[in-house]
């Protein structure tokens, strides 16, 4: 399990999974109906990406995102 603590670690996780599946950025962007530049920004941890599009990418890659309370 990967602990996603910020946009950088989320982007790294998405990039790793995309590559594991053999998808190019262009292929995944087209499939997810986002621009390749959006996907690149997401994978590079850009802070201003749109959350709805981000969740679509996560879902299309077969990933789940868990949020846990740090105090637990």
Most confident of 1-10, 24-33, 48-57: 24-33
Give yes or no for residue 69 having a pLDDT over 80: no
pTM of the full structure:
0.76
Parse the chain into domains and list their residue ranges.
Answer: 7-60
What region, left, alpha or beta, does residue 40 occupy, with left being phi > 0 and alpha being psi -120 to 50 degrees?
A: alpha
Amino acid 58: pLDDT: 87
Fold of the CATH domain 7-60: 434 Repressor (Amino-terminal Domain) (1.10.260)
């Amino acid at each position: 399990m990967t602990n996603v603590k910020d946009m950088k670690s989320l982007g790294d996780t998405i990039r790793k999974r995309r590559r594991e599946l053999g998808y190019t950025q262009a292929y995944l962007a087209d499939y997810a109906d986002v621009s390749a530049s959006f996907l690149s920004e997401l994978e590079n941890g850009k802070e201003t990406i749109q959350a709805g599009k981000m969740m679509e990418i996560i879902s299309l890659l077969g990933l789940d995102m868990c949020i846990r309370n740090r105090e637990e």
